[in-house]
Amino acid sequence: MSEELTGAPTFLDKFPQEAAVVRAALWSSFIALTLGAVFGIIQALHRTDILRVIDSTDYYTVLTAHGVLMVISFTIFFLVGAFTWAIVRSFDRNVEDIRYTWTWYGMMVTGTLMAVVAILGGFVDSIDLSADVLYTFYAPLQGHPLFYGGLAIFLIGTWLAGADWFRSWRAWKAENPDERIPLQAFMVLTTMLMWYIASIGITIAVVGFLLPWSLGIIEQVNPLLTRTLFWFWGHPVVYFWLMPAYLLWYTVLPTVAGGRLFSDPLGRVVFVLFLLLSTPVGIHHQYVDPGIASGFKLIAMTNTMFLLLPSLLTAFTVVASVEHAARQRGGTGLLGWLRALPWRDPAFTGMMLAGLMFAAGGFSGMINAGMNINYLIHNTLWVPGHFHLTVGTAVALTMMAATYWLWPQLSNRRLFSRPIGLAQVVIWFVGMALMSNAMHIQGLFGIPRRTAEPQYQGFDFATTFGSVTELNMQLAVGGTLLFISTVLFVGNIALSTGTPKLSGLGEELTEPLSAAHDSPEILDNLKLWFGIAFVLVILAYMLPLASIISRGGVFGPGVDPVPVIAEPIRVGIQPLVASVEPTVSRVIAVVGSVVQ
């Protein structure tokens, strides 16, 4: 990337009002990231028993806050900022009504604050406010109505944001009837269609059941039903986090690398595939749930495996684009071209490291998707190990790295420090490599996720290599590095607001090698893809949901709410003997679950 000022106008020069919204959304995102990181390091040190600054019962308040702030607030605020930028930039027109744009942003902020207040109330015993229900809020654990209400308002905010972008599309199309949808806008619109379909599940769960239930309007819910509706949304939401990263890999990374995107048509195909396949797979989170027939699980498994396809295609296109860039820069040889890339640029290096880690995350995800091998790792620490590679690195690190490129376009100010930025992305990569590796291995030993103290009285975990203590150290060191990296990132952006304003910082995105007109026009038929996606979801979910309801009823087979507002029930279960068992015998797979 050249250091001379190109003199091109920035996004801020062209669209000052929209740039303000994007900056606000990004700041909301980074504040959530900072808080999430504080809770993250508390957890990393607590569960490894290195430093316990809170009670173990409060661990679950911390865990709920970490999960919600990171995967709802951090990622989705970044998404709405990046998507607003992408829509306005690629249509090259203002939003239709900036007051409307601020309205949906305001709703998202309000919703977040409501949910966060409900969650943090868990720290204060004297008030009846709590939502220690974790990010998944499985009933019959019951949080405060403020939590569910906040979630609902936040969701409505995201829908209105999507409507804003569809409005821009309609207005643009009226003026450009014969043009192909610009690639970035295409990616935004297909992602939002996926989001609307996915939202059906969580809307029914929250508005139809959990909110009225928490208010006492309905007495019981069917826990399997609300759980299934959660995962109806819960899997596509991971692609909702991922799609902004993909958009940045397809459209910003080639430019930052000094080249051009290999293929625009392939990018469109990939986003259409995500629209079609993201939702009818949620049951793969419920492989070991009772009450769901194994046939439905098999179908979900098959669909899930096909979801690998768009990501594998993306790997090809991104690497091809980067190689093209390297050769443009004079790189040669089978792999020697790698040396010609701008590794000193934190935006480039960050996105490349994020992509590399996504490959690792993809492989551990294939294990999760493997229905029968999933028995071994279900709800163990392996699972957070996996998603800290995907959402925790592929998404989070790409968002941070892209900010290093995007921020000057939004503020007309240079980044405070590129070397600190470079160190930051490398520290994140190293920290996550350590933490995630330790989590994966601990998961293989059966160490559970979501627990304050994975240290038990009656038994030890059998380790096949390394020791639990070593792995705990690795996890804690990794978590600490990630915290440091977050501080460096947010500090760098905060200090950038104090650098002098410059003009001419603008950088244009390069055009793809193979342009949109190489692809069939049917790809741009959003109604068609939305229709097919909708039918696929109905096919995938109609029978399982009907079966759950016919078995257990809409409001459950008789299950009372268990509010987490009250102090948890403490049952005295002092172990008789805290014996230290020889562990070797447990490694032998004496137990195999079989037939019935």
Partner 1 sequence: MNIHNYEKIWLVLAMVMIIGFISTVVYGATAVGIEMISDEPDTIDSTALDEDDRFSEPRVEKVGDNEYEAYVIAQQFIFRPDPITVPANSTVTFYVTSPDVIHGFEVVGTNANTMVIPGEVSQLTVEFNEPGEYGILCNEYCGGGHHTMEGKLIVQPEDEFEQGGNDE
Residue 304's CB is within 10 A of a number of other CB atoms, namely 23
Instruction: Please report, as residue ranges, which positions from 257 to 286 form the binding site for partner 1 (by CB under 8 A).
Output: 262-263, 265-266, 286
Q: At what angle do helices 236-251 and 75-91 cross, to 10 degrees?
A: 40
Instruction: Please report, as residue ranges, which positions from 354 to 383 form the binding site for partner 1 (by CB under 8 A).
Output: 366, 369-373, 375-376, 378-380
Task: Pick from 174, 217, 580, 591 the residue near partner 1 by CB under 8 A.
Answer: 591
Q: Are 536 and 279 in contact (CB under 8 A)?
A: yes
Instruction: Please report, as residue ranges, which positions from 509 to 528 form the binding site for partner 1 (by CB under 8 A).
Output: 514, 518-520
* Nearest distance from C-beta of residue 570 to partner 1, angstroms: 6
Residue 239 among the catalytic residues: yes
> How far is Cα 415 from Cα 493, in angstroms, rounded to an integer?
7
| 588 part of the interface to partner 1, by CB under 8 A | yes
Among 171-179, 196-204, 313-321, 390-398, the segment contacting partner 1 (CB under 8 A) = 313-321
Element (H, E) at 142: strand 141-142
| 125 part of the interface to partner 1, by CB under 8 A | no
| 452 part of the interface to partner 1, by CB under 8 A | yes
> How far is Cα 68 from Cα 70, in angstroms, rounded to an integer?
6
| 453 part of the interface to partner 1, by CB under 8 A | yes
Q: Are 428 and 551 in contact (CB under 8 A)?
A: no
Residue 517 among the catalytic residues: no
Our CB check for partner 1 shows the closer of 138 and 343 to be: 138
With CA atoms as reference, report the closest residue to 451 among 379, 367, 375, 376: 379
Residue 387 among the catalytic residues: yes
* Nearest distance from C-beta of residue 434 to partner 1, angstroms: 23
Residue 509's CB is within 10 A of a number of other CB atoms, namely 17
Catalytic residue among 89, 144, 235, 260: 235
| 385 part of the interface to partner 1, by CB under 8 A | no
> How far is Cα 546 from Cα 74, in angstroms, rounded to an integer?
35
Residue 235 among the catalytic residues: yes
Tokens representing 109 are 């902020």
Concatenate the DSSP letters of all residues of 209-260 into one string: IIHHHHTTSSS---HHHHHHHHHHHHTHHHHHHHHHHHHHHHHTHHHHHTS-
Residue 551 among the catalytic residues: no
| 589 part of the interface to partner 1, by CB under 8 A | yes
| 212 part of the interface to partner 1, by CB under 8 A | no
Our CB check for partner 1 shows the closer of 265 and 491 to be: 265
* Nearest distance from C-beta of residue 339 to partner 1, angstroms: 22
Q: Are 141 and 60 in contact (CB under 8 A)?
A: no
| 293 part of the interface to partner 1, by CB under 8 A | yes
| 564 part of the interface to partner 1, by CB under 8 A | yes
| 126 part of the interface to partner 1, by CB under 8 A | no
Concatenate the DSSP letters of all residues of 81-141 into one string: HHHHHHHHHHHTS--S-HHHHHHHHHHHHHHHHHHHHHHHGGG-TTSS----STTTT-TTE
Tokens representing 511 are 């055009």
Our CB check for partner 1 shows the closer of 10 and 380 to be: 380
* Nearest distance from C-beta of residue 107 to partner 1, angstroms: 29
Instruction: Please report, as residue ranges, which positions from 68 to 107 form the binding site for partner 1 (by CB under 8 A).
Output: none
Task: Pick from 50, 52, 57, 163 the residue near partner 1 by CB under 8 A.
Answer: 57
> How far is Cα 183 from Cα 252, in angstroms, rounded to an integer?
12
| 56 part of the interface to partner 1, by CB under 8 A | yes
Number of residues that bind partner 1 (CB under 8 A): 100
* Nearest distance from C-beta of residue 433 to partner 1, angstroms: 24
Catalytic residue positions?
Answer: 235, 239, 386-388, 449-450
